[in-house]
Structure 1
Amino acid sequence: MPNEAIVYSGPYEVGRLRRRRDRRVEEYLFRRSIRTSNPPLEVTMCRITKLVAYFIVFCVLLAAFTGGMAVLVMAFNIPPDRPGFSKFPGLCIQPGKYVGDQKQIVWSIHNEKELGAIRRQLSRIVEGYGLEGPKRMLACNLDDSWGYATGKPCVLMKLTQALDFEAITYNDAMTLPEDAPDELYDYVVDLGMEARVNRIWVTCQVKKEDGLDVKIDYVPDRYFDAEALFTKGNVFLNDSSEDEGGTYFEDPSLRRLIGVQFSNIPPNRDIVVRCQVWAKNIPLYMGTARLMLRLTAPLQSTTPLLLDEWYD
């Protein structure tokens, strides 16, 4: 028998059956494509009108919702603007970082990076006043590091701007409130009558703890001169014969800046300080600032070193 006539055993398929199977598969794919197909909608004038109407209704509802939320926020969260009422000034302190309502100043004499950051932060404030700024704060920056490199750190205190605010001051010690510390009373009593007028007094108190004796000095004075303090610019008479014009201009914001210098600070202890400004029409919650000073230093070893002969 020739090899062409031999039929091998195993699965094989007749051509007629294969064509019938392929036709059934094509019909199934065609019917499925009909059920799942999503032909493009016909573009008619009615359909376009409906789409435009839906878009307009959506925009109206979105505008109503946004307007309602804005009205609620303005009515309950944003205080009304009252241009006829005086705004109160506040008290701010530099340098440091806020932790809650307390400004924390942590530094080390041996850390040049921390000293450089503090130096830049304070210098940036006084340099904004030109030559008068560093001159006014000269006693705070004798070591060119604002006292932080020599253990006598200086903190800059500034009253925030409140245009046309007229401070009502305590012009004698007897009118000071009961909350004022005794040291402020003694300070005002020691001044002459002409030196007590038109002054916003400043006090800084250290929280009392055992073994803590921190000294505080104020640069240049212990008060803010309230005369035309919250105006944009002042013009004063100049009695000097060198000035032909007879007047000179002053930036009153420079007088809203004073320095508070601390000394005798022990290392590795939290020094809590509260500073306040005293005027009759400045609320204490607006004129109070809290800060924490901490001078970090390497700790001494408390355990004796092990000598080599102890192991013998």
Structure 2
Amino acid sequence: MPEDSVVPAGRYTVKKRFRHQEHTRKNKDLPWSKKVLDLDHHKLFGRTAWGWTRIVLFYLLLYFLILLILGIWMLIFNLLFLKGDEPRWLKGAPGISTVPNSSFIKIHTSIPKEIYKITDRIDKFVDKLEASAVKKFADYNKDELWGYSTKTPCVFIKINKVIGYKPKTYDSISELPNNNQLKTTVQNFPGVDRIWLTCESSEDTVEFNYIPGPYFDASAGLKGIERIVAMQMSRLPLNSQIYITCKIWAKNLQIDMKYNGWGNVQFSLIVYAP
């Protein structure tokens, strides 16, 4: 019969059958009980005892090698890189912050509840310091409200803790950068091993007083209360917002005015009074 006279009766496909497909089909036809436990072929979940033994031994060896390699690397890392008293990679210079930690402080002298919200945060901060902290800063807390009821508010300036940081201080006037306020501070409070602190206001009438002084004592490594300076402001203009900027000075401290806390801290203050 000529080929062009053959008309296909419909769609058809050619299927190939392989041995593993036959095995899969037979397994599907098995009842579920045979798939779990096949006593005829001594299989459990499709594996013989020797099959289960091989796969268990394989994974035990695999995880043992993984743990062994991990343990060796941890041992090398601890012996060669880590030190017991300090981290391997040290951060840069520390930043500074204030307590109360707020960029805008509002003081309502005629509303005690508003004052309590601020002074309670200061009390919690001081209580966490050394036992001598309350006595050390007592002169700025004569009203027991850290001066907020007498229009002489106190703000704590804190150098953040950085393990391993060793400040390089300005110990003579000749080393100081070109800053008149800093030079005046160093002249009035001579000393060495100090990170100097300067504060300025948008209003010239504002006066700043410090405990222990406009500096952080770095001679003992900036530990505990040595990282804290209490700064009290007086002669504040009433019902007018002012801006305060404080900077810390050392040879290996960078002051970046774009970021609050990088060598400087900035906040605004307003005292509402009748």
Match of 1:297? 273
Match of 2:263? 287
Letter of the 1:150 counterpart: T
Match of 2:239? 268
Runs of at least 4 residues off by over 4 Å:
none
Deviation, 1:114, is 1.1
Q: What SS does structure 2 have at the residue aligned with 1:151?
A: coil
The reply to whether residue 218 of structure 1 matches residue 210 of structure 2 is: yes
Match of 1:111? 111
Distance 1:138-1:176 versus aligned 2 partners, 3 A rule: same
Letter of the 1:90 counterpart: G
Distance 1:137 1:293 in 2: 21
> Aligned pairs, how many?
188
Q: Which has the larger radius of gyration?
A: 1
Distance 1:45-1:174 versus aligned 2 partners, 3 A rule: farther
- Are the counterparts in 2 of residues 270 and 293 from structure 1 also a CA contact under 8 Å? yes
- Are the counterparts in 2 of residues 96 and 105 from structure 1 also a CA contact under 8 Å? no
Distance 1:268 1:92 in 2: 25
- Are the counterparts in 2 of residues 172 and 189 from structure 1 also a CA contact under 8 Å? no
Q: What SS does structure 2 have at the residue aligned with 1:116?
A: helix
- Are the counterparts in 1 of residues 130 and 225 from structure 2 also a CA contact under 8 Å? no
Distance 1:96-1:225 versus aligned 2 partners, 3 A rule: closer
Q: What SS does structure 1 have at the residue aligned with 2:265?
A: strand
Letter of the 1:277 counterpart: I
Deviation, 1:281, is 0.6
Match of 1:153? 153
- Are the counterparts in 1 of residues 173 and 183 from structure 2 also a CA contact under 8 Å? yes
Deviation, 1:275, is 0.3
- Are the counterparts in 1 of residues 90 and 164 from structure 2 also a CA contact under 8 Å? no
Deviation, 1:152, is 0.4
Deviation digits for residues 153-195 of structure 1 (CA, Å, limit 9, x no counterpart): 00000000001110000001111112x3x13212312444xx2
- Are the counterparts in 2 of residues 105 and 294 from structure 1 also a CA contact under 8 Å? yes
Q: What SS does structure 1 have at the residue aligned with 2:134?
A: helix
Match of 1:202? 197
Q: What SS does structure 1 have at the residue aligned with 2:118?
A: helix
Q: How does 1:1-312 map to 2 (within 5 A)?
A: 45=28, 83-97=88-102, 103-178=103-178, 180=179, 182-192=180-190, 195=191, 197-208=192-203, 212-230=204-222, 252-285=223-256, 286-298=262-274
Distance 1:292 1:279 in 2: 25
Q: Where do 5+ consecutive residues of structure 1 fail to align?
A: 1-43, 47-81, 98-102, 231-251, 299-312
- Are the counterparts in 2 of residues 140 and 154 from structure 1 also a CA contact under 8 Å? yes
Distance 2:88 2:114 in 1: 43
- Are the counterparts in 2 of residues 137 and 258 from structure 1 also a CA contact under 8 Å? no
Distance 1:207 1:275 in 2: 12
Distance 1:155-1:190 versus aligned 2 partners, 3 A rule: closer
Q: Percent identity?
A: 29
- Are the counterparts in 1 of residues 137 and 230 from structure 2 also a CA contact under 8 Å? yes
Which stretch shifts more, 127-136 or 148-157?
127-136
Deviation, 1:90, is 0.7
Distance 2:272 2:187 in 1: 38
Q: What SS does structure 2 have at the residue aligned with 1:129?
A: coil
RMSD: 2.2
Distance 1:225 1:95 in 2: 22
Distance 1:158 1:185 in 2: 22
Q: Where do 5+ consecutive residues of structure 2 fail to align?
A: 1-26, 30-86, 257-261
Deviation digits for residues 251-284 of structure 1 (CA, Å, limit 9, x no counterpart): x211101111100112110110100000111111
- Are the counterparts in 1 of residues 130 and 224 from structure 2 also a CA contact under 8 Å? no
